[in-house]
Structure 1
Amino acid sequence: MKNILRTAGVFALASASVFGGVTAAEAAPTCSSGRVCLYDNYWFTGTSRSFGWVTYNVGVDANDKGSSVVVGPASDPASPYVYLYVDNNFVGNSVVFRAGNASNDLRGIYMTPNRNWDDEITSVWG
C-alpha cells in the first residue's frame, strides 16, 4: 500500500512541480508553529502526526514510521532549528531541519552511507 500511495503522490506532486515550479517545501502541507509533522508515507501522504519541538519519544504509533516530514514555523525566531533523533531522549544520530522546511522523501537523507532516515525518527528537539 505504501508503494501505491508513494507512486500516486510522486506523480501528482512531480507534475505540479514540473508545470508550476513548486518545490517539495512549497507543496508540503502546513504544520503549526513550533510543531513537527511526520507522515507515514512519502510525499506527505498516509497517517500524519504532529509533535512539539521537544518530544522525548514520538510514541508507539509514530516510532520509526515517518517517511516524510514538515517542520512548522519556529515559536522562537532566535531558535529556528529542530533536530530529529533516531533514539529516545535525543540520543543517537540526528538530522537538523530549519523551521518552515520539509522533506517529501526521507530516503534521500542519510545518517550513514548505508542508512537513510526513512522510518527512523524517535525523538524531536528544537
Structure 2
Amino acid sequence: MMKKILRTAGVLAVASASVLGGVTAAQAAPACSTARVCLYDDYWFTGTTRSFGWVTYNVGVDANDKASSLNVGPPTDPNSPYVYFYVDQNFRGDSVVFRAGNASNDLRGLYMTPTRNWDDEITSVWG
C-alpha cells in the first residue's frame, strides 16, 4: 500500500516538475558515492537506503529482493562506466545494465521478461 501511495505522489511530483523544468529520474535522485550503487526499498528513492560497491556478490538478507528504485554513482574508471544488476547471487540469472550517473525511480517499468519486472528482484551487482 505504501509503495502505491509513494508512486502516486512521485508521478504527480515529476509531472509537475517536468512541466516546469524537465526533471529526469537521475536528476531527482539523491547523490550516490563514486563506485557505489544506492538501492531504495520504495519508489522515488524513498524508504530504507542501502549502498553497495560495484562488485557485490550478494546484497545480503536485509536488501535481497527489496529494491524498488536505484541510483548508480560515478565510476572510478571512466573507461568502465557500466554496472550490471543480477536477479541471483554471484552475478547469475537475468541482468540489467545501467550507466554510471543513471537512476530508476520505479523499477516496475523495467522488464527482464514480458511478464516480470525488476521491482524487488536485485541480488548481486557487477561493475
TM-score by length of 2: 0.94
Gap regions ≥5 residues in structure 2: none
Tell me, which stretches of 5 or more residues in structure 1 are unaligned?
Answer: none
Q: Which amino acid aligns with 1:106?
A: L
Residues 17-66 of structure 1, C-alpha deviations (whole Å, 9 max, x = no match): 22111111111111000000011111111111100000000011110010
Question: How far has the Cα of 1:114 moved from its partner?
Answer: 0.7
Number of residue pairs the alignment of both structures matches? 126
- State the partner residue of 1:103: 104
Say which SS state the counterpart of residue 47 (structure 1) adopts.
strand
Contact 1:85 1:92 in 2 (8 A): yes
In the alignment, which residue of structure 1 is the partner of 2:6? 5
Instruction: Summarize the alignment of residues 65-84 of structure 1 with structure 2, pairs less than 5 Å apart.
Output: 65-84=66-85
Please give the alpha-carbon distance, in whole angstroms, between the structure 1 residues aligned to 2:83 and 2:45.
Answer: 18
Aligned match of 1:64: 65
More helix by share: 1
> 1:3 deviation in Å?
1.6
Q: d(CA) in 2 for partners of 1:49 and 1:18?
A: 31
Residue 75 of structure 1 deviates from its aligned partner by 1.0
| Matched-pair contact (CA < 8 Å) for 1:13–1:43 | no
> C-alpha distance in 1, partners of 2:85/2:54?
9
Taking only the aligned residue pairs, the percentage that are identical comes to 83
Distance 2:99 2:118 in 1: 16
